[in-house]
């Protein structure tokens, strides 16, 4: 089936991430081509020198090595001038002893409008959003948070890891993976879509290839 073109302002899951030239604290970058062959997480924040955003940037930086282990880069964004970003980075280094190593986009509003992350009901600041993009430059996940709620960084790491495992093994992840309440760290085998396969599932489960609660709910340990 031919992929339909998305004419909405906000990109949708499965869309190619829009090609954008951005000014950052590490110079001018072209994304997503700058991250070709890698996953990347683009996250927006309402403004520099704000309490919740400061805690988030520290948390992102402290986990930067974990993202890199997953072949995943980070890039921040807000509608602030690059001078404000640089000054804020300096404040974080001086007062919290954390050096921000990933780039931050200094946006005039063009990038935010392209991504649909300025919401009229929340003023002119960028909302607290997360975009996860794969090595093929496809948008795989979007998250939005209100200004008063900081992000859970370990959850974002879990998301990237889970998407990579899903792509590699053609499986899905249960709730709270890898600590699901009924199947632990097992992954879910895609449901059977025909009668023949549904019957084969039960037989394979009996042979110990995987485990099934029923033909449509089968799971296995990832080896």
Please state which of the four CATH numbers 3.40.50.360, 3.30.1020.10, 1.10.357.10, 3.40.50.1980 is assigned to the domain occupying 170-223: 3.30.1020.10
Q: What is the pLDDT of residue 108?
A: 80
Fold for 20-152, please state it.
Glutaredoxin (3.40.30)
Q: What is the mean pLDDT of residues 141-155?
A: 92
CA 89, CA 106: separation in Å to the nearest integer? 13
Mean pLDDT taken over the chain:
90
Quick: pLDDT tens for 198-209: 888 888 888 888
CA 64, CA 199: separation in Å to the nearest integer? 46
Q: What is the mean pLDDT of residues 88-110?
A: 94
Query: In which band, very low, low, confident or very high, does the pLDDT at 175 lie, cut at 50, 70 and 90?
Result: very high
Q: What is the pLDDT of residue 121?
A: 61
User: What are the residue ranges spanned by the domains of the chain?
Assistant: 20-152, 170-223
Annotate the chain with DSSP letters as a single string: -PPPP--SSS--TTSBPPPEEEEETTEEEEETGGGTTSEEEEEE-S-SS-HHHHHHHHHHHHTHHHHHHTTEEEEEEESS-HHHHHHHHHHHHHHH-----S-EEE--SHHHHHHT---GGGTTSPPEEEEEE-TT-BEEEEEEE-TT----HHHHHHHHHHHHHHHHHT-B--TTTTSBTTTBT-EEEPPP-SHHHHHHHHHHHHTTSSEEEETTEEEE---
Tell me the pairing of strands 39-44 and 104-106: unpaired
Query: In which band, very low, low, confident or very high, does the pLDDT at 46 lie, cut at 50, 70 and 90?
Result: confident
Q: Which residue has the higher pLDDT, 207 or 29?
A: 29
pLDDT > 70 in the chain, percent: 92
Q: Look at residues 140, 217, 130 and name the one whose alpha carbon lies nearest to residue 180.
A: 217
Query: In which band, very low, low, confident or very high, does the pLDDT at 33 lie, cut at 50, 70 and 90?
Result: very high
Q: Which residue has the higher pLDDT, 159 or 110?
A: 159
Q: Look at residues 105, 41, 52 and name the one whose alpha carbon lies nearest to residue 79.
A: 105
Task: Decide if 20-152 and 170-223 have a common fold.
Answer: no
Cβ(128)–Cβ(102) below 8 Å:
no
Cβ(50)–Cβ(128) below 8 Å:
no
What are the catalytic residues? Answer: 53
What is the model's pTM?
0.89
Q: Look at residues 18, 16, 21, 3 and name the one whose alpha carbon lies nearest to residue 136.
A: 16
Q: Which residues pair with 145 in a beta bridge?
A: 128
């Amino acid at each position: 089936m031919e992929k339909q073109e998305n004419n909405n302002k906000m990109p949708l899951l499965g869309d190619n991430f829009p090609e954008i030239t951005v000014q950052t604290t590490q110079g001018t970058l072209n994304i997503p081509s700058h991250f070709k062959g890698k996953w990347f997480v683009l996250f927006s924040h309402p403004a520099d020198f704000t309490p919740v955003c400061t805690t988030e940037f520290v948390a992102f930086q402290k986990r930067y090595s974990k993202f890199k282990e997953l072949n995943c880069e980070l890039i921040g964004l807000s509608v602030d001038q690059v001078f404000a970003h640089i000054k804020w980075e300096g404040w974080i280094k001086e007062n919290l002893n954390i050096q921000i190593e990933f780039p931050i986009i200094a946006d005039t509003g063009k990038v935010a409008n392209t991504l649909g992350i300025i919401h009229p009901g929340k003023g002119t600041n960028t909302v607290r959003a997360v975009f996860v993009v794969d090595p093929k430059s496809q948008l795989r996940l979007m998250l939005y948070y209100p200004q008063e709620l900081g992000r859970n960084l370990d959850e974002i790491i879990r998301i990237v890891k889970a998407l990579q495992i899903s792509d590699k093994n053609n499986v899905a992840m249960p709730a709270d993976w890898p600590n699901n309440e009924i199947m632990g760290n097992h992954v879910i085998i895609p449901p059977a879509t025909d009668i023949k396969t549904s019957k084969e599932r039960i037989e394979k489960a009996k042979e110990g290839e995987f485990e099934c609660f029923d033909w449509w709910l089968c799971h296995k340990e990832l080896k």
